[in-house]
Amino acid sequence: MVAISIIIIILAVLLALVVLAQNPKGGGLAAGFTGASQIGGVQRTADFMEKATWSLAGALMVLCLVSASLQNTTVASDGLDAPIQVDENPNANAASLMNDSAAVTIPAAPNE
């Protein structure tokens, strides 16, 4: 589990570096290859950077999903998430309370 987390961090850093190396207007690392005599030239550098971005993003997503599926799902329960128990016959409790021998009597108010 720790190894996957370390790989995720490394991939995230690499992805950030690849994205920052790109220039949205066609510059970035490709700006250094402006000469017409360069083999590969600007287009191949831009293609490589785009493929590297998509590959790193895909690998990062897959590793995050794998990491989430491998996590331990055992959670300590404190009783707050316990299901509510519903009484199937709510009138049974009311009837037993009415028939209780310890019924409360209220004395009458004295006459003045």
Measured over all CA atoms, what is the biggest interatomic distance in the chain, rounded to whole angstroms?
119
> Considering the domain boundaries, does residue 80 fall inside one?
no
Q: List Cβ<8 Å contacts ≥24 apart for 55-62.
A: 56/11, 56/14, 56/15, 56/18, 57/15, 59/11, 60/8, 60/11, 60/12, 60/15
Cα 112 from Cα 106, distance rounded (Å): 18
Q: Is residue 20 part of a domain?
A: yes
Domain span holding position 17: 2-27+43-70
Residue 15 contacts residue 57 (beta carbons within 8 Å): yes
pTM summary value: 0.51
Q: Is residue 106 part of a domain?
A: no
- For residue 99, being part of any structural domain is answered with no
Output 46 or 25, whichever has higher pLDDT: 46
pLDDT tens digits, one per residue of 49-70: 889 999 999 999 999 999 999 8
Our count of domains for the chain comes to 1
